Structure 1
Amino acid sequence: MFTARIRRSAVLLGGAAAVLLLAGCQGVVDQGGGGGGDGGGGGAAAPEVTLTLVTSAIQGTPNAAVQDAFLDMVEERSEGRIAFERTEAYSLCNAQEIADCVRDGRADIGVTIPDYTPQYFPSTSVVSIPFIGTNWQAIMQSLHSLHVDNDNARAIMDRNGLHHLATWPVGRVLIGSPEPIAGPEDLDGLSLRVSGPLAQRLFEGAGVNIVALPANEAYEGVERGLVDGVAAGMDFPVNYKLMELLPHWTDPGLGEYSSFGMWMSKSVYDGLPDDLKTIVDEAAAELSTGLGNEAYVRQAAEQCPQMLDADTVEDLTQWDPAVTEQWRTETGDSLLEGWVELATSQGLEDAQGVLDDYLAGLDELADVQGEDATLDCVAAFASR
């Protein structure tokens, strides 16, 4: 049995140690007899590979649903040969250190927001470019293809000791505030929690004071007056309870602004038998070509009723499309150019080519439309 968790003490196997050292992770391989049987005990065979998961996707959120859909699929298709030790969100590693936990071997698979450690993920931060991504399914699928087919996108993951599994949007950005926000001019002078380097740049241009807070600290930040509000997905008002503090929520029409990523330690992935690598990669592909969206939307549909029923929420609206278009026109290509400059500074080779491939993927997948739970909820508020 190969266990990919860290072992801090010597492991004895029937009196003889059989230790396989993998880069970044100390694993244990059972080379004894038994042929994967139940050892005569009558129970189920132990998994060949046990992978420790660290995550910042809290249970009950759509992001956790996407994560769990992948984990369940791999365990099922491997017929138990791969098992996941599923730690609770934030329990083993903080959100900001999850990528490092996977890179240094404290964990084997990580799920968190790449923007917390952007230096490792320049190829996925294209999600944060405002105005270009409103098709959730196309974004996830294009990002998956990018990290399979684009040599430079793959290389940056390899350089950082990670094997890309999936990246998916966190949901359309909503602005939560004490007073209604109907256009960029209403943002001037506010302090907001905003994630995503290009979204932050856009809001700063409108006069917003950006305060960096991880998701699990946003409630306290608003409660203590560190920020006036947030620009974030539906998880924030519902799962992080910010609808208790902020009565006004609006969709400014920027589309998706940030993402969750899921990666495996490259050394652990490289150490898997070829048939298990195939199972992992096929599951990642299926997640990105539809299964992830189904899981996300199914869970997201449970968020809207909670907002509808909250007596602290006064409205959930959407900006006039003409207002959004004017803001987009004023930015021109500056955000696209800004992303190329940023990604290049973080070590991504041919960032312009990576961006071109990503945008081409969005165009090719324009007709592959998944459901949009946020827009459905805005419509539900309007019809009350």
Structure 2
Amino acid sequence: MTKFTRRTVLASMGAALATPALLSLAHAAEVTLRLHHFLPGVAPMHTRFFEPWAAELAEASNGAIKVQIFPSMQLGGKPPQLADQTRQGICDIAWTLPVYTPDRFPVAETMSNPFMVTNAEASSVALHTLMDEFGEGEYRGMKPLAFHTHDGGKLHTRDAPVTSEADLEGLKLRAPNQATGQMLTALGAEVVFFPVTDMVVGLSNGVIDGCCLPYEVVPAFKLQELTSYSAEPAPGARGLYANTFALVMNQRKFDGLSDDVKGVIEAASGMELSRRIGRQFDEFEAFGRSMVEKQGNEIAEIPAAEIARWQEAAKPVHDAWIEKLSAAGHDGAAIMARANELLDAG
């Protein structure tokens, strides 16, 4: 393999390879990494992050790293199994949600509670910082590469907009996670849980009246065609919720790599990768919203005073989460306080 230094790696990754050096020789891949995720191959996360990131790793390593991407759970299993698939070596890298295995990664799941998001970039930096400070060892057998969130969720419904607690009464909603589901239940909604990949069927056959999701999900599942109304918090308010995500690698696979290849992966991961993914999710959010507008769907605003009432309804959910963290051996109050501090500072 052609020798490359950490200095050249950092230089090439620093600007996302905006001006990559042309390679004069083709190099056979020294290591092939299988990356597994649950979204379809047309999703922005696949086309605008995973594919470019794989190309950057290949470029920065002079062809020593090849990433094979398997969308739509093509390696088998269900989305909640992605973390275990990584730990067991079924795949080498996976993009997964802590909420798909509730309570297993409680620190990483903390910011999936209601109203724990501003925008995706700032919230992703806050999450990564929180994991650095409190989450060491939570992903045993896996090497975390990045932690991030999406932008705040909105309420997408088929028959009428939701701008008040009264509008939620009896509404059948797919909740994005247990904590948000508890808040929506307290506000009068009838909540169901299933992976986002099953949402299309639920909306099509009338099992649910709507869902709570960010706009970035809209294009991948044609949500603008399945619903007619979207409702978002008034400007300046925190988002209704944001799920947290982890990009993780099999630790044994990483440990077995050469130092040079490890250096490329290290330079392409960490806080700046979390920030980058968050920034891209803010871009995905804007694009998804434009699809809703293009469809002619109504976008309503949830007044700030109403959001304040919903935040009060979420306080018992937060208190229960603090107890859950403490029962797991953490300082739950400190983690929740630090998360809020980071979000307010962002």
* TM-score, structure 2 normalization: 0.82
Q: Identify the residue that residue 187 of structure 1 maps to in structure 2.
A: 168
Q: Is the 8 A contact 1:174 1:250 kept in 2?
A: yes
Q: Is the CA contact 1:67–1:111 (under 8 Å) kept in the aligned structure 2?
A: no
Q: Against the structure 1 CA distance between its residues 342 and 196, is the aligned structure 2 distance closer, same or farther, given a 3 Å change threshold? A: farther
Aligned to 1:295: 280
Amino acid at match of 2:203: V
Distance in 1 between residues matched to 2:124 and 2:52, nearest whole Å: 15
In structure 2, distance between residues paired with 1:363 and 1:298: 21
Tell me the equivalent position of 2:15.
Answer: none
Distance 1:321 1:292 in 2: 28
Q: How far 1:330 sits from its partner (Å)?
A: 4.5
How far the C-alpha of 1:240 sits from its partner, in A, is 0.8
Aligned with 1:224 (options 205, 224, 227) = 205
Question: What residue in structure 2 maps to residue 130 of structure 1?
Answer: 114
- The 5 Å alignment of 1:195-210 reads 195-210=176-191
Q: 1:72 to 1:361 in 2, by over 3 A?
A: farther
| Alignment partner, residue 77 of structure 1 | 60
Letter of the structure 2 residue corresponding to residue 358 of structure 1: A
For structure 1, which runs of at least 5 residues remain unmatched after alignment?
Answer: 2-41, 367-384
Preserved contact between residue 122 and residue 275 of structure 2 (Cα < 8 Å) = no
Q: 2:6 matched to which residue of 1?
A: none
Q: Is 1:58 paired with 2:40? A: yes
Aligned to 1:110: 94
Instruction: Tell me, yes or no, if structure 1 residue 322 matches structure 2 residue 305.
Output: yes
Aligned partners of 1:340, 1:57: CA distance in 2, in Å? 31
Alignment of 1:237-248 (within 5 A): 237-248=218-229
Provide closer, same or farther for how the CA distance between residues 49 and 120 of structure 1 changes in structure 2, counting only shifts above 3 A.
Answer: farther
Match of 2:294 among 309, 313, 328: 309
For residue 63 of structure 1, report the CA deviation from its aligned partner: 3.3
Which secondary structure does the structure 1 equivalent of 2:66 belong to? strand
Q: What is the DSSP-based 3-state SS (H/G/I as helix, E as strand, rest coil) of the residue aligned with 2:212?
A: strand
Aligned-pair CA distance for 1:179: 1.2
Give the AA of the match of 2:317: L
- Name 2:84's counterpart in structure 1: 100
Runs of 4+ in 1 over 6 A off after TM superposition: none
CA distance in 1, matches of 2:275, 2:242: 20
| SS at structure 1 position matched to 2:135 | helix
Distance change (3 Å), C-alpha of 1:141 and 1:185: same
Cα distance in structure 2, aligned partners of 1:357 and 1:280:
29
Q: CA deviation at 1:348?
A: 5.4
Aligned match of 2:124: 140
Give the 3-state SS of the residue equivalent to 1:175 in structure 2.
Answer: strand
- The 2-side partners of 1:67 and 1:339 are apart by 32
Larger radius of gyration: 1
Identity %: 24
Aligned residues: 317
Matching residue of 1:285: 270
Residues 141 and 288, structure 1, Cα contact 8 Å, conserved in 2: no
